[in-house]
Structure 1
């Protein structure tokens, strides 16, 4: 078996009643409204990473994160596996900065969020944060076409 390149990220949806906190990200090729999150730094735990990323990107301190699921991209040609661990929490405190490093943090009504510009990967899992149970979504990357190939969604 060839060497596989694993990259691990987190996403943490912060919910306050019928609103969620999203970042209006307007740089690089990941534009759109996204929940806070980022790369897991070795050797921190995955949940510690989610808490740290929220603090760095929004100024908020979160606690009691609930695991919602795994979203991953696999590229059989390059042997890359990108794993994104997804959490949600309703417990937070602190002050939002005027402008964060990844974009302006804004409270958005959950129903209105569906009309906002979002990356397909965020849009695909967005409703799953608010359902009971957990999800696992795997996207096989089509290297030749440079786009998503087969998408498998499992929800329990």
Structure 2
């Protein structure tokens, strides 16, 4: 019997305040480094509602008027897995930051300093696309044999 395709869906939301963005300094499990707030999409919620919920849970901020910026996805052909991350940007938020969130320390970072922060390459690769007109799609085929990213295709609109 052939294995069915598995889909896993997440969101991230870059929150911009002037020339800074809110980042989480995540230091647990195997995904360490600075990341925008976000998380898993729960069935049957929409991608946008998931992003709004995850931002609130991780930061204490209520975000509105999210702008869809693009899709980042990993496809593991051998395992028949597809990981999809829907990326959003907003400057419309209110609330008070959580003092000690479980996901990691919250920090407002100047946009020009983002490239100097320790982060996963998948996060670093998409950061410039949040701040340009249009959308992006980054399609990554996972290399099982070497346990790393394989073929990467970037499409911009």
TM-score past 0.5 threshold: yes
| Cα deviations by residue, 1:23-64 (Å, 9 ceiling, x for unpaired) | 010111110000000000001111000000000000000000
- Give the superposition deviation at 1:2: 5.1
**Partner in structure 1 of residue 103 of structure 2:** 102
**Partner in structure 2 of residue 40 of structure 1:** 41
Question: Which structure 1 segments of 5+ residues have no match?
Answer: none
- Paired with 2:87 and 2:33, the residues of 1 have a C-alpha distance of 18
**Partner in structure 1 of residue 112 of structure 2:** 111
- Paired with 1:100 and 1:110, the residues of 2 have a C-alpha distance of 22
- Paired with 1:60 and 1:10, the residues of 2 have a C-alpha distance of 16
TM, length-normalised to structure 2: 0.98
Q: How many residues align?
A: 156
What pairs with 1:2-151 in structure 2 (closer than 5 Å)? 3-151=4-152
Question: Which structure 2 segments of 5+ residues have no match?
Answer: none
- Paired with 2:124 and 2:35, the residues of 1 have a C-alpha distance of 9
- Paired with 1:152 and 1:77, the residues of 2 have a C-alpha distance of 18
- Paired with 1:19 and 1:67, the residues of 2 have a C-alpha distance of 19
- Paired with 1:137 and 1:130, the residues of 2 have a C-alpha distance of 16
TM, length-normalised to structure 1: 0.98
RMSD: 0.9
- Paired with 2:78 and 2:67, the residues of 1 have a C-alpha distance of 34
